[in-house]
Structure 1
Amino acid sequence: MANESKIIRKTDDSAMHLIYDVVGDKAKFISDIDSYYLLNGKYVFLEFIKCAVKPFDYNPNQNWNEIQLHLNRVWEFASKAEGSLWLICYDDSKDQFNLFKVGSMDDTKAEFQSQLNQNIDEFKKWFQLLNSEVLKK
């Protein structure tokens, strides 16, 4: 099986705005996946979470009630695809990144297999390595 990824386009955000315009309040029941990769026959899903606090001080369980509906849908999809899910937490400054690899998830919380605190250079290296693995077909 070849390595592949979802092609990220600048239109992704505008597509979500269109969905909200078309279905209105019901759009809250629609979930999208920010990024995914097929590496060596296994899917890796990435979900980016913008934080209101510094990412090193953030854990997705802190505002679980606000994000659990969407994340549970993404987790269900990732689980059915027998893939892994990483939550990438960042803020406007983009100088800190807190990466959580999800181990399990339910309606009350997420449990994590691992966590990485990274600065922008470390995150770039991590993300570019992931992308370069996809390009090794």
Structure 2
Amino acid sequence: MADTLDSGPFFHGTRAALVPGDLLVPGRRSNYRPEIVMNHVYFTALVDGAGLAAEVAALNDGAPHVYEVEPTGGYENDPNVTDRKFPGNPTRSYRTDAPLRVLREITDWTRLSPEALQMWRERLSAIRDGGGEIIN
């Protein structure tokens, strides 16, 4: 856990319906670039950041969910945002190549307005269409 800002609690946003005890594992398609199979599982210490991830997920085959999770192994700052886009780690975003264990669903996270959701989807579409790189 070298150079991470905190030790939790941690959250993961997704369209998948999960239950406590389920494991989120690497090797799944990216929420943002479904053509990419991810080598890591991503999570954050900000519940609303996980909510944003759930709402803008490209795999729109379910309702957005936010789960409190715990890493089962080591983790690192997410290089896709840390220092590359935001100096330090103000988004408190992390990734791991070990499973994340679902502890419980969180229901009191801030939902995006329809306008904000559309703005985020347009931003992500522009990144996808422009070949935005994911450090995998």
TM-score by length of 2: 0.30
Structure with the largest fraction of helix: 1
Give the structure with higher Rg (CA).
1
The higher relative CO (CA closer than 8 Å, separation ≥ 6) is in: 2
Structure with the largest fraction of strand: 1
